[in-house]
Structure 1
């Protein structure tokens, strides 16, 4: 056999080093005599010759159609060595061994049959599906966990908000209810007095005969002069002062310190001559006293001037309710009668503006005077007017025409200037023409001087079924209106609760 031809192909070495394709090994067949595999071609030409020989062998191995026998040419018995074709490793091609040229069944070494690639693909497919199902279950489980985490997070957030809301709400209630006590305990008290240098505007303050440091302190606060009700009085106590105050009307400013207010009240230049300041709701007696203090007119002269109402065109037994509340400044030398006439004329002006008929003036003034004394805020005037009208209905089975107003009972018992919202048992039981607890209908006349709003409310009551009202907070003036007595009792309990928690002279 000739030697292997020299490697004339530059890619031979690379070709020889190519990896053998992987194949699935088949079960080992029964041992048999096989011819060793041919050597791997060393060049591309040798590889082509081997491939060509393999194809020739496959064509010869295919079954052929039966044909007529032909005589077989005689050949030499000498064995002819033919080169054995080499096939790529692992390709599964039959290997041809050396044998006689006329051997009809050349010995073939059957190569192991590789497992079908389709089978491997199916198994891989099922394996992939299994992994896919596992991945899907893991993803779904993760998503469920995330949803649960989000829900739990929102629940925790809501709980935190509820707790914070409760803390804030509770803190707000405690602060608004006990602010003064908390400030005092913690040392956070706000200054009770204004500082010097921030005063502004102008305001008139009236000091009447008999006023003390305590009552003047309240007047200054109500006029907007001092910051708190007790600031001026506390200043007098702190500085150990007990000055004498001259009755009259004084020109002051708002937001004054207590020291500055005291200095202004002691300065005669700030006292307005012949001036009387009359707030709403004063009785005739209190009105004459203020006019006397403001103008320097003797009180007895003023009392004599009001003795006969007809002198001023008033068809009533008294001028109670007819001296309109306002600030009056009279020229020097004005007589007491002229002063009274000025006040009565101002009342007629207000009655005409509200459209009150001449023959209804006394009645409207009476209703308006009750409204002025009973209501704390002008916003409630028209509802109080409706309560009065509803209770005056004689067919009302719950009231039977009884007004039952404390202000009227107090006036008839000379207790109206006492300064309390409730009446004493003696005032409620005293039989007089103004006691609306005992006598149905309106009292026989006004009980105070009403202002413009009260007169208009008496003429134009609000619409509503209310029969009762009570001020449940005497500091803010909050008033509850009720239709039934049971509702009214609940509101009265509110007022009593407020009084028990607050030290107020009005209770």
Structure 2
């Protein structure tokens, strides 16, 4: 109905107003209801004509009531008409006849509204009856009776639809009103199931809050992030792998991350997509080997037998979990990881002379792909299609790697225009100068076996789920990119991915 409050009125923020409710309602609907209004009155000639058409006796001009004889004669005359019930007053009988031809839309269109042409009544029935009824309230009551009499199934469906709409759009407000708040934090120190969480150099609070939630340690991103914001001083997190448990309270997770006893030292875990600098820091924290010694060893490219095109050890350490015996030196540990990578490439059928190209493509795919495994192969196809058509790869991930600004998916115009960055695939043709991270087996396989397709663009539109849109033209690509911008701006949790 026009004057019924909508869900925005109910659950939106309401201004404090000292005016009487009726005045506030009038203002809300753009109608001044602070003054009296009367229902439209039909002209006597119009009333007479309508009454005659409906089979009712014309009103007595003198204003005197009919005698019993006159009333009985009028009733008998009306009853003589075919199909009429002699026990139903003529006006009511005519109304039923008219309403029998009302459509569903007319029956559900609502009741009288003072702005309507016939006192606000709508539908064919109102048009046929005009003002035949002796007074307006009776017509309103009849219309409501018809609406209330609609099939219960329709009413149930309409009600269910309204409830569903309200729940989808106003769940938080409804829960607040009804006191149905959902807990966003676990209680206690965990359920006993170990989970390893990696803290990388440069991770900020939102990064760690997201990692904990994705790993199942905390119930929600907000539980840990809000706890960090409430701290008087910013906690200091050190790079490394931490042994935690699933279903920990935010406070117990924070305490565990600040306790060096929880750093894993009996096994080394390097995850896919980790960059070489972060990998060396995690190795140092895990094994106790000095970071400077690891960095020096990693620069001895000749020792590791890298391809002639390689510019660093980046991409050549295989990401996996390695059991440690406590006796490794820097060279021995890095040798183990490089040799494991060569074994994986050999098993995949990659010739020695192709190692550099495949690892460069695989690292690019690893960095750009989300959790959806099929997307690895489609992303690989996009890059191969662009190379085949002599198009620039235009990967923001490569630009970011060259600038060292790896904590955002966005790059600036100036960064994309800087051809002096050898990893900048917006300004330089072909593949980047080398791998931009450590690729895993899936990315390597995707680099070798891309999917079939003619896509030239892709963009993730939900970085939490990895949902990615693949397109063949720039207009569709730009539309999808706007979806990503909107998603990133929707919440602090979303922003932590961006």
- For Structure 1 versus Structure 2, the TM-score category normalised by the shorter chain is 0.5 to 0.7
8 Å contact kept, 2:167–2:174:
no
Kept after mapping to 1: 8 A contact 2:376/2:446:
yes
User: Deviation digits for residues 406-441 of structure 1, max 9, x if unmatched?
Assistant: 1112222332x1x22221112101103221112222
CA 1:243/1:444 → structure 2, altered by over 3 Å: closer, same or farther?
A: closer
In structure 2, the residue matched to 1:299 is: 291
State the partner residue of 2:436: 447
Q: In the alignment, what sits opposite 1:347?
A: 341
Distance 1:213 1:438 in 2: 33
CA pair 317-238 structure 1, distance change in 2 beyond 3 A:
closer
Distance of aligned partners of 1:491 and 1:237 in 2 relative to their CA distance in 1, 3 Å threshold: closer
Shift of residue 450 of structure 1?
0.9
8 Å Cα contact 2:196-2:244 kept in structure 1: yes
Supply the distance in 2 between the matched residues of 1:223 and 1:403 (Cα, whole angstroms).
33
- Alignment partner, residue 40 of structure 2: none
The answer (yes or no) to whether the contact 1:402–1:437 under 8 Å persists in 2 is: yes
Distance in structure 1 (CA, Å) of the matches to 2:265 and 2:487: 43
Q: How far apart, in 1, do the equivalents of 2:202 and 2:485 lie?
A: 31
Distance 2:229 2:428 in 1: 48
Which residue does the alignment assign to 1:401? 391
Unaligned runs of 5+ in 1: 1-133, 135-144, 395-399
Q: Is the 8 A contact 2:206 2:496 kept in 1?
A: no
Residue 330 of structure 1 corresponds to which residue in structure 2? 324
Equivalent in 247, 269, 274 of residue 282 of structure 1: 274
Shift of 1:288: 1.1
Query: Are 2:472 and 1:480 aligned?
Result: no
Q: How many residues align?
A: 353
Counterpart of 1:420?
A: 408
Tell me which structure has the larger Cα radius of gyration: 1
1:470 to 447, 459, 468: 459
Contact 2:209–2:224, Cα closer than 8 Å, also in 1: yes
The separation in 1 between residues aligned to 2:393 and 2:202, in whole angstroms, is 34
Which residue pairs with 1:220 in the alignment? Answer: 212
* Deviation readout 1:15-45 (Å, 9 max, x if unpaired): xxxxxxxxxxxxxxxxxxxxxxxxxxxxxxx
Name the CA distance, whole Å, in 1 between partners of 2:279 and 2:360. Answer: 17
1:276–1:291: 8 Å Cα contact kept in structure 2? yes
- Matches of 2:474 and 2:201 in 1, distance apart? 43
1: CA distance, partners of 2:257 / 2:193: 16
Q: Deviations over 1:117-166 (max 9, x none)?
A: xxxxxxxxxxxxxxxxx9xxxxxxxxxx9xx99x989x965854763564
Other structure's SS at 2:196 match: strand
Query: TM-score, length-normalised on structure 1?
Result: 0.62
- Please give the alpha-carbon distance, in whole angstroms, between the structure 1 residues aligned to 2:326 and 2:252: 30
Structure 1 residue 207: Cα displacement: 3.8
Aligned equivalents of 1:413 and 1:183: distance in 2? 46
* Alignment check: 8 A CA contact 2:201 2:278 kept: no
Q: CA deviation at 1:285?
A: 1.4
The question of whether the paired residues in 1 share the 8 Å contact of 2:268 and 2:283 is answered with yes
Alignment RMSD? 3.3
Aligned pairs for 1:162-177 within 5 A: 163-164=158-159, 166-167=161-162, 170-171=165-166, 173-174=168-169
